[in-house]
Structures are given as structure tokens and as C-alpha cells.
Amino acid sequence: MKPPHIPVLYNEVVEVFSDLKSGYIIDCTLGYGGHSEALLKNLPDIKLVGIDQDSEALEFSKKRLKPFKKRVVFEKGRFSSVIKNHLHKDIKGILADIGVSSLQLDKKDRGFGFESDILDMRMDKDQMLSAKEVVNNYSKEQLEEIFRDYGEIREYKKVADIIVKSRQKKPIESARELASLIEKNFKRGRIHSATLVFQAIRIEVNDELGELANLLEGIKNASLEHCKVAIITFHSLEDRIVKRTFKEWAKKCICPPDIYRCECGGNHNIGKIITKKPIIASKNEIKANPRSRSAKMRVFEIGKMEKI
């Protein structure tokens, strides 16, 4: 079966979990099974839980991972909630690739790409909110907020204003129409002028930052022991959340900064940061898969305090 999507940091993900001899790895973002297949091939004694909210990707992965079917459990749903069903298992690894797959971006019937004939961007086709709803029905103030916060667009007010004025004449029906509208009004730089607009809308539609925050909170509260957590992000908003969270998890002292002497006991960390700097794609990988250039992987190891 020909893989439709190249997983980023393929070898690096395998290396992170290479010392695992038993237990489960939870792949929170199974996608088209690239990372999971690599882990199952290289770690013959581990089992895996694969989670995805995209039915199309899930069905593909079930076929792709059929040779490992005795070692894999599949779950459809948002990873932040589904993962709770499996935290009673002997979890030794958690992987989350927080990005849209190449296939989702390229398939015109998914409404993610600039040339798509529809405006959708739902990772889970069963959910109600779509990009078309956001673009055509959100207030100008709501659009300004998502473009400012999720796209970090300097001219967020102008973008919102252009969209609102355009939809007053007729609804914006396709991603191609939206991309063209943005391109006409903004100079194209190193990236397509609509890139950050599309990013912001996609994050809103799928509650991506909320999902990531909920996942991290769930992991923290799960009382895991000797478990590696690897998170791959593709833009600065997600990476900042992961970086900040891992720093909080690694803090031994939680006393206010103006306290002269530690009074909290100094044992509040739940583990240690493995990657002082994020793992990024090699030059060869970026050449083969340009979309990997923005990928960053951070790794944290949860464990008993006296052994960390």
C-alpha cells in the first residue's frame, strides 16, 4: 500500500522511543500511519494505540497496519478526550504530530488548500463548524480576534474588513475564492499571502490549540511513570505551548520568585526535559519534503522523582 503522506522526522521519532522494551505507545495523531508503522517495525515488543478524528485516515491506517493488528488498537475521536480511555494501560510513550497531513492539504474535497473548490478545513467531517461558517458568519470582531491570535497577522483588522465587505456582496464559497481575495489585497512575500489567514481559520475550526492544551493537561494528571512524551509542532503558537508546559513540568520549586528560601519542598517536577532545543528536520529531509522545514519536536520524560 503506497503511503499518501510522508511523516516528518521519521528517523528521529524512532530514535526517541528506541529504548522502549515493552508497554504501549499512544499515537495521538495516527493520520496515515507513517510514524506508527515505523514504531511497530522497529520496536517488536511494544503495542500501540492509534487515535485520529479523520475517518478517511483511520480506515487507511487500519489497512496499512494490518500486519501488526494484534498489537494495535484503533480509536476515532479527538485525542484530548480519547486518550483518557487508555491511560490505565502500561503507557511508555506518547506521540502527537500536531499538523495537517499533506494529503489533507492537497485533496481539493477537504477544503484546506488554496486551490480547493470548497471551504471546509474540518479534520473530523462529522463536526458542525466548518471554515465556510467561520468566514461567512463570524462577526468582524470575531474574525479580527482569530487572525490576531491564531495567525499573528499584523494587519488583522484589514483582513477581517476585506472578508466582511466581500461576503456582503455574496457568500465566499471556496478556498480558492478566499485565497484569491487575500492575494489581491496583500503583497506576496516568502510565503503565499493567504497562508496565515488559512492557518488561523483552520485552528479555529478544529480548536487545535485547545486540543493541544487539553492533551497536555490530561497527560500531566494521568500519574504516568517512566513515559516519554514527544510532541511535533508546525508553528510558533503550538511550539510555545509545548515549550512552556514542559518547563512547568520540569520545575522543582513552585515558590513565588520573591521568596528568599524555598518553602514548597522542591519536589514538584514530574520529570525532565530531554530536548533542550527542539529536534528539527535535516537538510536532506527538507529537500525531500519541504513541508518538514517548520517541524519541531520536543521531548519530555515523565518519571518518579527519585529516579529522574
Compute the mean pLDDT over every residue in the chain, rounded to the nearest whole number: 88
Residues 21 and 163 in one domain: no
Between CA 65 and CA 244 the distance in angstroms is: 34
CATH classification of the domain holding 159: 1.10.150.170
Residues 161 and 223 in one domain: no
| 207-244 pLDDT tens trace | 989 989 988 998 888 888 899 999 999 999 999 999 99
List of residues 6+ apart from 97 with CB closer than 8 A: 7, 8, 29, 31, 35, 232
Between CA 154 and CA 144 the distance in angstroms is: 11
Residues 77 and 213 in one domain: yes
Place of cell 511508555: 92
Residues 111 and 200 in one domain: yes
Instruction: Please tell me the total count of domains within the chain.
Output: 2
Residues 98 and 50 in one domain: yes
- Of 147, 179, 206, which residue sits at a domain end? 206
pLDDT of residue 306: 45
Residues 89 and 16 in one domain: yes
CA-to-CA separations, 213 to 78, 97, 242, in angstroms, rounded: 12, 14, 8
Judge whether 231 and 208 are in contact, CB under 8 Å: no
pLDDT of residue 140: 97
> What are the grid coordinates assigned to 36, written together?
506508527
Residues 111 and 130 in one domain: yes
Residues 168 and 81 in one domain: no
Q: Does 298 reside within a domain?
A: yes
More confident residue, 272 or 87: 272
Domain housing 128: 107-206
Between CA 6 and CA 101 the distance in angstroms is: 8
More confident residue, 103 or 257: 257
Residues 198 and 267 in one domain: no
Please give the DSSP secondary-structure letter assigned to residue 253: -
Q: Does 5 reside within a domain?
A: no
Kindly give the residue spans of alpha helices, DSSP state H, lying in the chain: 10-16, 34-42, 55-64, 79-82, 102-106, 131-137, 140-149, 156-169, 175-185, 195-206, 208-220, 236-250, 283-288
CATH classification of the domain holding 87: 3.40.50.150
Would you list the DSSP string of 106-151? Answer: H-GGGT-STT-SS----SSTTSS--HHHHHHHS-HHHHHHHHHHTS
| 25-39 pLDDT tens trace | 999 989 889 999 999
- Of 206, 230, 257, which residue sits at a domain end? 206
The average pLDDT across 155-164 equals 96
CA-to-CA separations, 76 to 50, 162, 231, in angstroms, rounded: 9, 38, 20
- Of 172, 187, 206, which residue sits at a domain end? 206
The average pLDDT across 175-187 equals 92
Output the pTM of the full model.
0.88
| 10-25 pLDDT tens trace | 999 999 999 999 999 9
Burial-class residue 40 by CB neighbours within 10 Å (0-12, 13-18, 19+): buried
